[in-house]
Amino acid sequence: MSATLLPEDLPLDAHRRTQSAQRGRYGFFPGCVAKESCKELFNSTMLLADKLGIELIELTAASCCGASVVNDVNRDVARVLNARTYAQAEALGLDDVITICSTCTGHMRAANKELLESEERMDHANAILGKFGATYHGKVTVRHLLWLLIDDIGLDRLRAMVVRPLNGLKVAPFYGCHIIRPESVNGWESARHPHSLEDVIEAIGGEAIDYAGKTRCCGFHIQLEKDDVAANMVGQNMRMAQDHGAEAVLTPCPLCHLALDGYQADAAARWGRTDLPTFHLPQLVAFALGVPADRLGLNKHLIDPRTILVERELIA
């Protein structure tokens, strides 16, 4: 079931069966936000990896992916920064870099695509990496944890691992942008009709809510430019989710999480109160797989997700 036209063994293929996947040892790129304001995402990812029986080897010397912002300043720098990160993964014998942020996924995949599709750009990057003795050989695939869950673990196995099914909790998937768009970069699934989050939600015993806002933008990148516009984008999407019956939101991206968790209160004046608790992807999966709720950092969220878990008798 390949969503791209590329042969299966090419690093650009999001569905590639990597050597890392076969060994259960992955390069891990947590990204900046999971190390700063969303530490609960980092911690719950490590707890989930434990439950899944996979090893995530953090690329501790990796830099920021460029966060879509450095492109505004220079067209080459994000590409070369990411080539440095891939070279580090290769040096550790890893051909897979797993991300837990949509923006990291999209921009790291875009950088890899630029490198792999042009010898000139690859040589240019390697000429700079050569100044400190590094080389990128073009063997790395960048994938999101969400794709790993479905392609490497598999939905059937995931279902079998669930010890605390979500009891039909109505969860609105919120993809955000960079894990699906542009399709030419991500290509794991259709950006217009994605279903990966829905599949995971159903596998862990929840009910996935369908609403148009699930593939729309959270406004994170313009919070500092015009916060009322960003808040309205959150409000618009959360209003749709709630009108379709959502009790909670699940997102694969900490930037979306910051926006949805932080700005629903500001959006209430125009869109009405929604107060939908937002889970990070690994938090909710780890919870269903039996990680105790108090280890998942749920108390760090501005809209406390424990309330709905208590209401649904999932925690005491």
Partner 1 sequence: MAKITLDIFRFDEAVDVVPHRDAVVVDIPETTTVLDALETAKADVDGSISFRRSCRSAICGSCSMNINGITGLACKTPCNTVMDETGAIKIDPTPNFQPMKDLVVHMDPFWDKYARLKPYLQPSDSDSAHERERRVSPDDMKKLVDVANCVMCATCYALCPVVSVDPAFAGPAAIAYAYRFIEDVRDGQRKERIAQISEDYLWLCAHCYACSYCPKHVDPNDRIIDVKRAAIKDRVLMNERGPRHALVVTKWIKKVGMLHETELIAGTIGRFNVRGLLKVAPLGLRMAYKGKMPPMFLKPIPKVDEVRTIFDALEVPVS
- Contacting residues toward partner 1, per CB under 8 A: 32-33, 35-38, 60-64, 66-77, 80-81, 84, 106, 128, 131-132, 134, 177-178, 181-184, 192, 212, 216-217, 219-222, 224-227, 229-230, 232-233, 236, 262-263, 266, 299-302
The least CB distance from residue 64 to partner 1, in Å, is 5
Alpha-carbon dihedral of residues 30, 125, 189, 194, nearest 10 degrees?
50
Cα dist from 262 to 34, 36, 52, 231, 251, whole Å: 16, 15, 30, 9, 14
Q: Which is nearer to partner 1, 18 or 44 (CB)?
A: 44
Instruction: Choose between 50 and 183: whose C-beta lies nearer to partner 1.
Output: 183
Report the residue number, 104 or 153, with the smaller CB distance to partner 1. 104
Alpha-carbon distance of 50 to 24, in angstroms, equals 11
- As measured in angstroms, the least distance from the Cβ of 182 to partner 1 is 4
Whichever of 229 and 310 has its CB closer to partner 1, that residue is 229
State how far the Cα of 71 lies from the Cα of 82, in Å rounded to an integer.
Answer: 13
Instruction: State the minimum distance, in angstroms, from the CB of residue 53 to partner 1.
Output: 28
- Count of other CB atoms within 10 angstroms of residue 120: 7
The distance from CA 144 to its chain's CA centroid, rounded to whole angstroms, is: 5
Cα–Cα distances (Å) from 166 to 189, 202, 210, in that order, read 25, 9, 17
Closest distance to partner 1 from the beta carbon of 87 (Å)? 10
Contact present, 65 and 105 (Cβ < 8 Å): no
Rg (CA), the chain: 19
Specify the DSSP element, H or E, that contains 266: helix 254-271
Measured from the CB atom, the residue of 151 and 261 that comes closer to partner 1 is: 261
CB of 170 to partner 1, least distance (A): 21
| Contact call for residues 110 and 67 (beta carbons, < 8 A) | no
For partner 1, give the closer residue by CB, 131 or 160. Answer: 131
